[in-house]
Amino acid sequence: MTSLLPVVAIVPNYNMGHSLKDLIPQLLEQDYEHVYIVDDASTDDSVAVASLFGCKRLTVVALEINRGAGSARNTGLGMLKRASIIHFLDADVSILTKNNVKTIRALPLDDNVGFVGGRIAYKRHYELPWNYGPRGSLFTALSSPLYNMVRFLNFSVLFRMFPERPIPRATLRRPGMYWVGEGNMVIRSDRLQEMGGFGAKYREHDIRPLAFYARAHSLTNWYEPGLAVTHKNINVRPGGRLFRILIVDILLSRTYGGILGWFLPMFTRWK
């Protein structure tokens, strides 16, 4: 039973000490058994800031070489001594919901589930379009712009036409997501190890290899709006991120099944 597993939070960090000042107290207010801050060789005061919060439930890990968020997440995974449920969060988020652990324990992670993504919002109703379908697919291209326009313009009367994709909580089946934002994501540690961990060599959205793995092994990934954060979208690296993401898309499509299946996933079965 997943309800018997400990629930921990793992936060990769790079040069976001100012954001950690706000986030760490929010994490410690939750009922996580433990919180891990994995610093990816920051050049600011991140380690000093995180170390100020003297708490038995908090571990700060300072890496000497910067290898990217995926490598930092994998480091946090390797620190777990027993099977756990991991809530991965980015360092530049603010937690919007209470009782995260209670919500996480209610997730059917014992079933054939890969990972579960929580709600990531920049504004009150504006959300990332990627949570609505495969990036680059015709389905996403046709559906998500209108979906996000409705939320961005706050047309509340139209919200029911473009729901946040959960099925009512009384039912077990949830709508499948191709992949989710790794900045607010839940997964069992043993399932993550089975999937090979995050794609650390892909520094832009290292969750993508997990999405391909899940599709290939018929695992279901889904969306839980009951876990909500706001994302400050702090950019600590040089520009050109969208271009780097495109390069990663192409590399991954070649590695995991062909470019046609990536850009036109309606021709394949995606979860």
Query: How far is residue 136's CA from residue 215's CA, in Å, rounded to a whole number?
Result: 16
Interior CA angle at 112 toward 2 and 86, to 5°? Answer: 40
Taking Cα atoms as reference points, which of 116, 144, 63 lies closest to residue 226? 116
Q: pLDDT (tens digit, 0 to 9) for every residue of the chain, 271 residues total?
A: 566 899 999 999 999 999 999 999 999 999 999 999 999 999 999 999 999 998 999 999 999 999 888 899 999 999 999 999 999 999 999 999 999 999 999 988 877 888 888 888 765 445 554 444 444 445 545 555 555 565 555 555 554 554 444 333 333 334 455 567 788 999 999 999 999 898 767 666 677 778 777 777 878 777 787 888 988 877 766 666 667 766 666 666 655 554 455 455 444 433 3
CB neighbours of 175 closer than 8 A, spacing ≥ 6?
165, 166, 167, 222, 223
Question: What are 39's strand-pairing partners?
Answer: 13, 62
215, 178 Cβ separation under 8 angstroms? yes
Q: Is the pTM of this model over 0.85?
A: no
**Architecture of 2-134+166-237 per CATH?**
Alpha-Beta Complex (3.90)
